Amino acid sequence: MAVETAAVMDPAGLKAIGAGLAVGLTGIASGIAERDIGSAAIGAMAENEALFGKGLILTVIPETIVIFGLVVALLIS
Amino acid sequence: MLKPKQMSRALIVGHKDLLEETIEVLHQINLFQIEDYIEDDSGLKIGKPIGKGDAISRSLIKIRSIASFLEVKDEPVKKQNASTLLRDLDSTLEKLDKEVSRKTETRSGLEARVKEIESLKKELLPFADIPLDLDLYRGYDNLSIFPGSIKGDIEGEISSITKSYELFSDHKSGTIVLFVPKIYTEDISMVLSDHGYRELKVPEQKGVPAEIISRIDAERTDLLRQIDGIDADIRALKDEYKEFILASNEVLSIEADKSEIPLHIATSESTFIIEGWVPSDSYNKIERAVSRATQDRVFVSQQEIEHEQESIVPVEYDNPKVVRPLQEIMNLYSRPRYKELDPTALIFISFPLFYGMILGDIGYALVLLTLALTVKKVVKSDAVKPLMNILIYCQISTFLFGILYGEFLGFPLAGVVSHGEIQAGLIPGFNTIDLLASPVGGEMITYPIHRNHLIMTMIVFTALVGLIHINFGYILGFINENRKHGISAALLEKGSWLIIQIGILLGVLGYLEVLRSEAVLYAGIAIFLVGFVMLLKGEGVKGPIELPSLLSNSLSYTRLIAVGLSSIYIASTVNMIAFQMIWPDKFGLMTVFAILVFIFGHALNAVLSIIAPGLHALRLQYVEFFGKFYEGGGRKYDPFGYIRKYTEE
């Protein structure tokens, strides 16, 4: 039987990984959500320029996801 | 402020003979917005254009096509007298039109010739190095000619078929011209097609190709020179007639507008009725002007605005000058409705406030302030000016928060003690002063506030800012709703949110250690339920579904710290790369490189610092704040009239 060597990971490293995942994954999620909304908003704006304000708002709504991610990352680290 | 300008509905009635004078005076005063008349069964008909409407439209089309051909742009020129301009307009326009069409015709003729020459040259080029007169390619009875391009050498194979041939070839371009007696045509064709022969068209010209090419090249240069000459003539025409074109376009547009007015109003056999809107404070002005122009023979009367007309009342902002740039932000979203609160003055405070809270850096404030002031000075456009003013407001706020945060281009101004060590700031000897211990996260609130050492406190604080801002929105919504649909609707739709929050607050307080009491807890739950039922009644099923938005909306305000921190980290990373990683011990090339990294890094971050805090601050207004009370969709107040730029009366 081989002697088991338990390698203890530095908790700071795990925290950093967690923080990175929180920002990275939520960033991807925001990106995916904004991609569809953004292209639709641009399409609508091409028809009617007055829709810029509404389009902008709809596009940035998923931005909150990554902000939450960033906040979580800040709380972890 | 907080309310659009008060409007009055006015009716102008008179005899048709006085219509022209009335239109003239309304146009001049530039305050009256005419409401289109829609024909109904009242017997009134839409009027017919007055004056020389057709002729004016024709001239207008002509002048606009000339303007677009000459590429006349809007630019400040000397103002012209409108009446003298109108007198000579037709003859000058005629002359200009003739000249322009002559120039365009000559130009297109020359251009066609240039194209012709270019395509001829393309045909001639393969034969350029074959010194044969083009005449020699034609008119044989017993000879076949193969002009074309080919790959490889074929002389050997041809000589195996016949000895009587003549071959001219240019190895560079692969062109050959082969003369053989007609009887060998088929055999030769076979050989040629094996070598990828492609026949070339012999141009219908006389003379040696090389000579022709040099001749037409000369002609082409000459033609191009002529075209340049015409272009210069056209530019001269533009300079000569620019003032005339701009001025007459304006005068004719005005005349066309006036002559078309009867198409928007109601007329009977001999009277006309103009209905429209005027700011209430200018009503008397209109009345007086119309009476004076028509010797009291046209009647102006003020009408009550009926409830169902409220949606079509044109909306004009009524804000102090300093707040006005923010109207652009309102327009970007949607103009307020007539009976609605105009929040321009509120975002005048909250937008720069949030922007400053996010950026909060003395260095960036100064850089961007300089940028905004320069752009405002250099660019004279009316569209850019309000945006630059908004940027200036934001930078003032950023500067103040910069002092509060003690930041300069990502460097902390004050030193900070952390874990027993002092991290020096930019100002030697200036260290943070402890003010009080923060209730969250075991952090110490200091002056200057170092955001990256106070993350927990700031997150809680910004969420609280959000909660206050949102509730302010609900209160405004209450006022709006009360104005539109009465107190009960306001209570059910907006008041319920406030009640729900009080309930939650009491419940949480009762549950927590601070104020542990079952009575408070149950009171909180009861109040919450009351609010919940009210919400259900006011908004239907949609209300409870939106309940969690209370939490997500106020947490959304944590971006005030989160986006700010990301900006700090970018800035301090640039500083670290420049001054700790690259900066050498001795002055040298690397010193220059470090300074370049510093400048470009901060330039990039400065640009990001317009976009990121700007968009996030804007979004907090549009989504979180406006969502609570604002509807928008008001109609723009666009009075009949014109602000003359190129002419004067």
B195-235 pLDDT, tens per residue? Answer: 888 888 888 888 888 888 888 899 999 999 999 999 998 88
- B66, B96 contact by CB (below 8 A): yes
The string over B168-197, giving b where at least 16 C-beta atoms fall within 10 Å of a residue's C-beta and e elsewhere, is ebbeeebbbbbbbeeebeeebeebbeeeeb
Residue A62 located in a structural domain: yes
For residue B558 the two structure tokens come to 């944590």
* CA–CA separation, B387 and B6 (whole Å): 27
For residue B251 the two structure tokens come to 């005068």
By C-alpha distance, which of B434, B408, B453, B447 is closest to B561?
A: B453
pLDDT attached to residue B637:
92
Structure-derived torsion over alpha carbons of residues B585, B590, B594, B596, reported in degrees to the nearest 10: 150
Cβ–Cβ below 8 Å for B623 and A57 = yes
- B334, B633 contact by CB (below 8 A): yes
Check: complex ipTM more than 0.85? no
Q: Where are the beta strands (DSSP E) in B352-494?
A: 407-408, 411-412, 416-418, 421-423, 433-437, 444-447
Find chain B residues with C-beta within 8 A of A61's C-beta: 623
Cβ–Cβ below 8 Å for A74 and B459 = yes
Instruction: Give chain A's domain count.
Output: 1
Question: Where does the pLDDT of residue A4 fall: very low under 50, low under 70, confident under 90, or very high at 90 and above?
Answer: low
Output the CA–CA distances (angstroms, integers) from residue B300 to B16, B18, B287, B292, B307, in the order listed. Answer: 15, 13, 6, 12, 22
Cβ–Cβ below 8 Å for A67 and B559 = yes
* CA–CA separation, B353 and B374 (whole Å): 23
Q: Mutate which of A45, A59, A64 to test chain B, going by most B C-beta atoms within 10 A?
A: A64
Phi first, then psi: give them for residue B380, nearest 5 degrees: -95, 5
pLDDT attached to residue B419:
67
Q: What is the per-residue pLDDT across A5-56, written as a single tens digit (0 to 9) for each?
A: 566 778 888 999 999 999 999 999 999 999 999 999 999 999 988 787 778 7
Q: B471 and B440 in one domain?
A: no
By C-alpha distance, which of B571, B619, B307 is closest to B469?
A: B619
Please say which residue of B527, B556, B585 terminates a domain: B556
- B409, B602 contact by CB (below 8 A): yes
Q: What is the per-residue pLDDT across B1-15, written as a single tens digit (0 to 9) for each?
A: 789 999 999 999 999
Greatest C-alpha distance within chain B = 125
Greatest C-alpha distance within chain A = 74
Question: Looking at the predicted structure, is the pLDDT value of residue A3 above 80?
Answer: no
Find chain B residues with C-beta within 8 A of A74's C-beta: 455, 459, 562, 565
Q: B548 and B502 in one domain?
A: yes
Residue B249 pairs with which residues in a beta bridge? none
**pTM: predicted TM-score of the whole model, two decimal places:** 0.78
Residue B566 located in a structural domain: no
Counting Cβ atoms within 10 Å, is residue B542 exposed (0-12), middle (13-18) or buried (19+)? exposed
Find chain A residues with C-beta within 8 A of B612's C-beta: none
Residue B513 located in a structural domain: yes
Residue B603 located in a structural domain: no
Please say which residue of B422, B447, B472 terminates a domain: B447
- B80, B247 contact by CB (below 8 A): yes
Q: Are strands B647-648 and B80-81 parallel, antiparallel or unpaired?
A: parallel
**How many other CB atoms are found less than 10 A from the CB of residue B291?**
15
Structure-derived torsion over alpha carbons of residues B288, B289, B291, B294, reported in degrees to the nearest 10: 170
Find chain A residues with C-beta within 8 A of B549's C-beta: none
* CA–CA separation, B256 and B56 (whole Å): 6
Task: Report, in angstroms and rounded to the nearest whole number, the Rg of chain B calculated over CA atoms.
Answer: 40
Q: Which amino acid makes up residue B377?
A: K
Find chain B residues with C-beta within 8 A of A54's C-beta: 333-334
Q: Closest approach of chain A CAs to the CA of B151, in angstroms?
A: 53
* CA–CA separation, B168 and B144 (whole Å): 14
pLDDT attached to residue A26:
95
Kindly state the helix (H) or strand (E) to which residue B100 belongs, with its residue range: helix B82-124
* CA–CA separation, B439 and B456 (whole Å): 10
- The CATH number covering residue B170 comes to 3.30.70
Apex B466 CA angle, B347 and A29, nearest 5: 100
Residue B118 located in a structural domain: no
Residue A6 located in a structural domain: no
Residues of the domain holding B196: 139-201
Under DSSP, the state recorded for B623 is I
Residues of the domain holding A64: 12-76
Query: For chain B, which ranges sit under pLDDT 70?
Result: 418-420, 515
Cβ–Cβ below 8 Å for A60 and B623 = yes
Cβ–Cβ below 8 Å for B562 and A52 = no
Under DSSP, the state recorded for B431 is B
Under DSSP, the state recorded for B415 is B
Instruction: Give chain B's domain count.
Output: 3
Q: B470 and B512 in one domain?
A: yes
Q: Which amino acid makes up residue B416?
A: V
Place of tokens 């011209």: B177
pLDDT attached to residue A2:
52
pLDDT attached to residue A11:
85
- The CATH number covering residue A57 comes to 1.20.20.10
Residue of A nearest to B455 (CA): A74
